Chains A and B, each alone.
Chain A
Amino acid sequence: MAATTPVQSSRRPSAPTFVQWSRKNLFPNWYNSVLSIIFGALFVWLGFSLFRWILVTADWEIVIRNLTLFMVGQFPRDELGRQVGSIILIAAAIGLLAGAATANARARAMEAGLPFDISTPRDWLQRFWPMLLLVVILLSLTRTITPTLMTIAALVVGVAARYLGLYLPSAARRRASLIFAVLVVAAVLVLWGFGGVPPDRWGGLHLTFVLTVSGIVLAFPLGLMLALGRRSTLPAVRLLSVTYIEFIRGVPLITLLLMGIFALGFMLPPGVDPSSFVRILVAITLFEAAYLAENVRGGLQGVPKGQTEAAQAVGLAPWKTMRLIVLPQALRSVIPAMVGQFISLYKDTSLVYIVGITDVLYVSKLVNAQPEFFGQGLSRVTLPFVGLIYWVGSYTMSRESRRLEKKLGVGER
């Protein structure tokens, strides 16, 4: 009995050497060896060509000269200070919310007597390395020091706000989302208010972000209503919701955008002529609401019936049962799905390119029409650049969504 223990511990497998590892994972039999050689060669060749293209062949002049255009479109250049102010406010808002959320989670864990690891800078690096990489790439392409200073300022403010959020009094901490909303509204006001720049003149990556966020925010109430309507016991309400949802899900977003641009003006009373920004925002909102409704419906279906019955047993009215018992559980469980929806919308906003709105993808078309870059096939440089921007946002968010899914224990409850 006593003799077996040391034998077992001495047999504990040590980390495999590279040769052992590759024999197991690369060359276990002849056809896998052939595959390994083919794919290995492919990887080496692709990696080499990619690096050579990025560092030698590709001429990044077109991106360097037009970086501001890619970031903010035709935003008036003498008003760029407003962008800086709004970015710093957003950084503060995100930092504060992240800090307060961590503090809330820690408080809950302490109440439940569970261990709680606060995330270290290393965790953050692992989670957000693509974003950091993108920021570094973007800054390396700038020609003045201002963007770097702005990034540092935003980072400092963000980190400071996070610590502020961590040590906020608990009463303020619970209202962190309210503070977040106030700061975001302030950021919009800095851009738009006080004789600022109306959204029609926003553009570039900034417009892409604005369309994504406002699309989701505006679509959420409508989507929630539709989801409740689809789950309603009233047949007429259910029919209306199902018709709307299935209609929208059956047509491509581009048809709604065309509708917004070419036909929305005809659908409103004579004399009402919304700007292009409003037109596409209406189209995106109507489109997104149907998909959000389906997500929320999934969450509603996942709430056990016992919850509703328990609420009825303690005498809650139907409305209160929904608002206090069912919806909080349903919405919590669909957060990952809604992040997924957010990612799709982030990618889908690129469709405004087709109707000529200056988002970051359209800028790539614009700069290729500039006299000094025209007709040189430089979209083979600008499109990968724009693609990288989309990829970083989408990839990071999809990993965060998977992380959230695990953390919320969706399906485990």
Chain B
Amino acid sequence: MTAHPSTVETTRPPFWRDLRVLRAFAQVAAVAGAIFLFRWILGNVTTNLESVGIRTDFGFLNGPAGFQVANSDFEPAQPVSDVILVGVRNTFALAILGIPLLTIFGVLVGVARLSPNWLVSKAATTYVETLRNIPPLLVILFTNALILLLPRIQEAATPFGWFVISNRSISVPWIANGSGAGTYWMVLAGTLLGAVGIWVWRTRRSDASGEPHHRVLWSGLFFIGVAVVAYLLLDDPIALSRPELEGLVVTGGFLTLANYVTVLIALSLYTASHVAEIVRGSIQAVAKGQVEAANALALGSFQRLRFVILPQAFRIALPPIINQYLNFVKNTSLALAIGYAEVTTIVFQVIGNGNPAPQSIVLLMAVYLTFSLVISLIVNYVNRRIQYVVN
């Protein structure tokens, strides 16, 4: 009557319609294609470099760099690998100050955009809509044009005798180590650990008994107290060093190059406009019921923001904000346009000194990929830590 079931089972489609065969074939083809393309490019690079007599390995990293780097004790005779490390350090110097700056400013502007005060919110909106719609490179170039308005080094401004400001460099007072400074710094590090311990202790105690924790007061007083006592005992281990202008050289203090300040300010302002938008969106994403509940508890507007809205908005905002940090780090490469010696500028100079371009740029990309990888690992870790666990 009906077909025998076994004939249905044994009928396999022909191999060109067999899904398993097709899947295997597609993957092998894709991988083979990728490998072929890669080999082809590599082969071309090798042939081309050899035909013009440029080496094809990374041995150039051991050769002398042959150029100096501003505001660094790098010697031209040192190898290329060292100068690239100087560049990485300078990129890092931008990130370490820029990220806190842009975060603080971005959060302030983002909160201001939602202010009930019409003028404040309009000011924040103007700022965000202006900066967000202009290329970051243009912001850097324009800031550079403004910084060039500062006096020349010969006529550097010295406000209050504490700063030396010129269009070449900007110096701020800094700590100078005297005798016994090493001991003092170690004491301070130990005290900091102690202060953190006190902080944790006060928090736990407050959680357990409900008495006010006063943790800022406790650990602050402890830290300051020990720092002052140690300072007196060690007989002036550190001192404040003022920058001073001697001819064309600034001595003492801490010297930052004008183009470092340019990139720092320009990129922080630019990225802050993006952070502000994220902050605004996150605050608006906090459920309306939370605000109403805070009002029902008669919290003031500051308390409402500090204890109810911001902690929740923070969870929503953090991953995209860290993404903006990554963008900031990638955008520091624009410093090439005004010659601040971060890693892209350095690699550009390395290539200009006759070192092979393909390898140098691959190395540069590897540097940025490392930055990206580290930051995305942080994002993943933070995401796991701060998200509510919903089961």
Q: Whole-angstrom distance between the alpha carbons of A328 and B278 in the complex?
A: 30
B381, CB-defined interface residue at 8 Å? no
CB distance from B137 to the nearest CB of A (A): 5
Q: Among A26, A270, A383, which residue has its beta carbon within 8 angstroms of that of B119?
A: A26
A250 x B369 contact (CB < 8 A):
yes
Q: Among B145, B333, B351, B372, which residue has its beta carbon within 8 angstroms of that of A379?
A: B145
B3, CB-defined interface residue at 8 Å? no
Which stretch of B41-49, B176-184, B227-235, B285-293 is in the interface?
Answer: B41-49
Interface residues of B in 328-366 (CB under 8 A from A): 330-331, 333-334, 336-337, 344, 347-348, 351, 357-358, 361, 364-365
B41 x A267 contact (CB < 8 A):
yes
Given contacts A36-B118, A43-B123, A252-B333, 8 further A-B contacts (CB under 8 A): A40-B119, A236-B31, A250-B369, A255-B364, A258-B357, A354-B137, A361-B141, A390-B135
Which stretch of B126-134, B237-245, B312-320 is in the interface?
Answer: B126-134
Binary interface profile of B, 109-140, with partner A (CB < 8 Å = 1, else 0)? 00000011111101100000110111111100
The 6 closest A-B pairs by CB, nearest first: A250-B372, A236-B27, A394-B133, A262-B357, A25-B118, A350-B135
Q: Whole-angstrom distance between the alpha carbons of A36 and B26 in the complex?
A: 65
Q: Among B31, B120, B134, B334, which residue has its beta carbon within 8 angstroms of that of A39?
A: B120
B373, CB-defined interface residue at 8 Å? yes
Interface residues of A in 269-318 (CB under 8 A from B): 269-270
Q: Among A42, A252, A386, which residue has its beta carbon within 8 angstroms of that of B331?
A: A252
B146, CB-defined interface residue at 8 Å? yes
Between A and B, 9 residue pairs with Cβ closer than 8 Å are A32-B116, A39-B117, A236-B27, A236-B31, A240-B30, A270-B47, A270-B51, A390-B133, A390-B138
Q: Whole-angstrom distance between the alpha carbons of A39 and B351 in the complex?
A: 49
B368 x A353 contact (CB < 8 A):
no
Q: Among B129, B134, B148, B337, which residue has its beta carbon within 8 angstroms of that of A354?
A: B337
Q: Among B27, B44, B135, B368, which residue has its beta carbon within 8 angstroms of that of A255?
A: B368
Which residues of B have CB within 8 Å of A351? 135, 137, 334
Please give the number of chain B residues whose Cβ is less than 8 angstroms from any Cβ of chain A in the complex.
Answer: 57
Q: Whole-angstrom distance between the alpha carbons of A60 and B190 in the complex?
A: 61
A383 x B133 contact (CB < 8 A):
no
B117 x A32 contact (CB < 8 A):
yes
CB distance from B57 to the nearest CB of A (A): 14
CB distance from B340 to the nearest CB of A (A): 13
The interface centre, meaning the residue of B44, B116, B138, B142 with most chain A CB atoms within 10 A of its CB, is B138
The answer to whether A266 and B45 touch (CB under 8 A), given A240-B31, A361-B137, is: yes
The interface centre, meaning the residue of A28, A234, A250 with most chain B CB atoms within 10 A of its CB, is A250
A105, CB-defined interface residue at 8 Å? no
A254, CB-defined interface residue at 8 Å? yes
B34, CB-defined interface residue at 8 Å? yes
Which residues of B have CB within 8 Å of A391? 130, 133-134
Q: Whole-angstrom distance between the alpha carbons of A204 and B364 in the complex?
A: 30
Which residues of B have CB within 8 Å of A43? 119, 122-123
B4, CB-defined interface residue at 8 Å? no
Q: Whole-angstrom distance between the alpha carbons of A391 and B134 in the complex?
A: 5
Which residues of A have CB within 8 Å of B45? 263, 266-267
The answer to whether A377 and B148 touch (CB under 8 A), given A39-B123, A252-B368, is: yes
Which residues of B have CB within 8 Å of A377? 145, 148-149
B12, CB-defined interface residue at 8 Å? no
